[in-house]
Amino acid sequence: MRAGLTQRELAALTGFRQPHIARWEGGQVPRVDTALRLAGALETTVEELWLPEPEREGRAA
């Protein structure tokens, strides 16, 4: 999923610091409450943010 935001913009939107955003973008998985907060700020689901596309499609069927 791409929201078209920079790391700084996402940090400002969510209240997290930019280095945390960079870690998550690099593959580190955040805590569940953090993932929910990110998904809410981006108006999407945790699944949309972290599951690979084939797995997301399989869940929708």
User: Tens digit of pLDDT for each residue in 5-59?
Assistant: 999 999 999 999 999 999 998 989 899 999 999 999 899 999 888 776 766 566 6
Rounded to a whole number of angstroms, the distance between the first and last alpha carbons of the chain is: 19
Domain that holds residue 33: 7-60
The reply to whether 35 falls in a domain is yes
The reply to whether 28 falls in a domain is yes
- Kindly report the pTM of this predicted structure: 0.70
Task: Report how many domains make up the chain.
Answer: 1
| Separation in Å, CA 38 to CA 55, 58, 61 | 20, 23, 25
The reply to whether 1 falls in a domain is no
The reply to whether 2 falls in a domain is no
- CATH number of the domain enclosing 33: 1.10.260
The reply to whether 19 falls in a domain is yes
